[in-house]
């Protein structure tokens, strides 16, 4: 099950913990993987780790001309694009009363608008070939909200709505569109928290631990697989039970 | 048949998987050739690519039959 031999995938934000884990698991299952992010040296290190079938495509999703070129570059490198993982995301947290227009716009641009534009670029080839997987990494916050993250929560909720619309448009062509909504995942960001802060977070998670990037990557592998053909327009919540939706 | 008509016919046959003899100028993409709304978008994009033209949305809506497409493309390319 979950064999991706001969498939081609693009993972944005592959410099982050979750993005790198997704790239690793898709690659391990046989896919060719284009990895994108802003830090070329981190991407090169991942490529060195994985070896064959890996293409580094440095890209800043905050710049619209770079967004424009990313899917064509992936298609040129791999011959086609079967699986798009819109994983890249940024935060510019702050209480709404103090949130600058710029912080709002930047988060929406990278997290939502770039995901839309990459999906639009990718769906054409997917429709023609009658196969495609578009996977968005959203967040539990997009469903529950979170104080201090009006911009981030809006972008992640927007991704869920967009996913449902695209899923309806593309279902007849065997292109599925789904989201994964991680809860609290152990990343360099959560490493910075002190033990007391971590305890407070874990107290809200029935599973009694933070999630791992691999927990999220396993869900991505399922959604990318041929086996998930009948799953579309959905959001998989990978959160240890902290929110049951 | 004009060169444009031939190329249009080829695209329609390829995209919709219909018999070439069904693709006459009066044939409606949706009613006669079994296209759905996504097919019509794909066809318009294929025409744009093939002929190097741009077909705006409001014009695309008026292209209902094979003949409509040929006429529009001949006019745009002229």
Q: Model confidence over A33-57: pLDDT tens digits?
A: 999 999 999 999 999 999 999 999 9
Mean pLDDT of B50-58: 91
Phi, psi of A84 (to 5 degrees): -115, 125
B41 interface with A at CB cutoff 8 Å: no
| Interchain CB contacts (distance < 8 Å): A and B | 9
Dist. CA A19–CA A36, nearest whole Å: 9
Mark residue A114 as left, alpha or beta (left: phi above 0; alpha: psi -120 to 50; beta: remaining).
alpha
DSSP designation for B22: G
Say which of A152, A160, A176, A216 is annotated catalytic. Answer: A152
Which SS3 state, helix, strand or coil, does residue A175 take?
Answer: strand
B38 interface with A at CB cutoff 8 Å: yes
Distance from A3 to chain B by nearest Cα, in Å? Answer: 29
Residue A152 annotated to the active site: yes
Mean pLDDT of B18-33: 93
Of the candidates A30, A16, A14, the one whose C-alpha atom is nearest the C-alpha of residue A221 is A30
B49 interface with A at CB cutoff 8 Å: no
Q: Is the dihedral of CA A119, A7, A72, A85 positive or negative?
A: positive
Per the model's pLDDT, the better-predicted residue between A189 and B30 turns out to be B30
Under 8 Å between Cβ of B28 and B35: no
Dist. CA A115–CA A162, nearest whole Å: 9
Mean pLDDT of B12-32: 93
Q: What is the pLDDT of residue A194?
A: 85
Residue A197 confidence (pLDDT) above 90? no
Set of chain B residues whose Cβ sits within 8 Å of the Cβ of A177: none
Residue B78 confidence (pLDDT) above 70? no
What is the DSSP code string of A54-105?
A: EEEEE--TTSHHHHHHHHHHHHHHHS---EEEE-------B-GGG--HHHHH
- Using CA atoms, how far residue B38 sits from A63, A213, B41, in Å, is 30, 36, 5
Q: What is the pLDDT of residue A189?
A: 66
A165 interface with B at CB cutoff 8 Å: no
Q: Which helix (H) or strand (E) holds A35?
A: strand A32-37
Which of A168, A170, A172, A174 to mutate against chain B (most B CBs within 10 Å)?
Answer: A172
Q: What is the mean pLDDT of chain A?
A: 95
Per the model's pLDDT, the better-predicted residue between A109 and A197 turns out to be A109
Distance from B12 to chain A by nearest Cα, in Å? Answer: 13
A169 to B45: CB separation less than 8 angstroms, yes or no: no
B42 interface with A at CB cutoff 8 Å: yes
Under 8 Å between Cβ of A176 and A214: no
Under 8 Å between Cβ of A218 and A162: no
Q: CB under 8 Å to A36, separation ≥6 — which residues?
A: A10, A11, A12, A13, A14, A43, A57, A58, A59, A70, A74, A88
Residue A217's Cβ-side half-sphere holds a number of Cα atoms within 13 Å equal to 19
Under 8 Å between Cβ of B28 and B65: yes
Q: Which helix (H) or strand (E) holds A122?
A: helix A114-129
Token pair in block for residue A110:
């990278």
Residue A95 confidence (pLDDT) above 80? yes
Say which of B3, B19, B36, B57 is annotated catalytic. Answer: B36
% of chain B with per-residue pLDDT over 70 = 97
Per the model's pLDDT, the better-predicted residue between A207 and A194 turns out to be A207
Q: Quick one: pLDDT band at residue B72, thresholds 50, 70, 90?
A: very high
Residue A64 confidence (pLDDT) above 70? yes
């Amino acid at each position: 099950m979950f064999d991706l031999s001969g498939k081609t995938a693009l993972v944005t934000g592959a410099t982050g913990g979750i993005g790198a884990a997704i790239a690793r698991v898709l690659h391990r299952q046989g896919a060719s993987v284009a990895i994108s992010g802003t830090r070329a040296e981190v991407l090169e290190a991942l490529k060195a780790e994985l070896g064959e079938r890996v293409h580094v495509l440095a890209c800043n999703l905050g710049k619209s001309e770079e967004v424009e070129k990313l899917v064509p570059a992936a298609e040129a490198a791999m011959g086609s694009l079967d699986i798009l993982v819109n994983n890249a995301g940024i935060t510019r947290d702050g209480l709404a009363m103090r949130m600058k227009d710029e912080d709002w716009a930047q988060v929406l641009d990278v997290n939502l608008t770039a995901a839309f534009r990459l999906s639009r670029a990718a769906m054409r080839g997917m429709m023609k070939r009658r196969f495609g997987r578009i996977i968005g990494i959203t967040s539990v916050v997009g469903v529950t909200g979170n104080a201090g993250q009006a911009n981030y929560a809006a972008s992640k909720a927007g991704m869920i709505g967009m996913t449902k619309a695209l899923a309806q448009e593309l279902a007849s062509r065997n292109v599925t569109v789904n989201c994964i909504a991680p809860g609290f995942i152990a990343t360099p960001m959560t490493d910075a928290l002190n033990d007391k802060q971590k305890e407070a977070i874990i107290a809200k998670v029935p599973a009694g631990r933070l999630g791992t990037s691999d927990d999220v990557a396993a869900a991505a592998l399922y959604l990318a697989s041929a086996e998930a053909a009948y799953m579309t327009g959905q959001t998989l919540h990978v959160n240890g039970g902290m929110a049951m939706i | 048949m004009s060169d444009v008509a031939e190329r249009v016919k080829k695209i329609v046959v390829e995209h919709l998987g219909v018999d070439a003899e069904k693709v006459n100028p009066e044939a409606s993409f949706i009613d006669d050739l079994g296209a759905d709304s996504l097919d019509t978008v794909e066809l318009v994009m294929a025409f744009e690519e093939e002929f190097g033209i741009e077909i705006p949305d409001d014009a695309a809506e008026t292209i209902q039959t094979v003949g409509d497409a040929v006429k529009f493309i001949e006019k745009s390319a002229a």
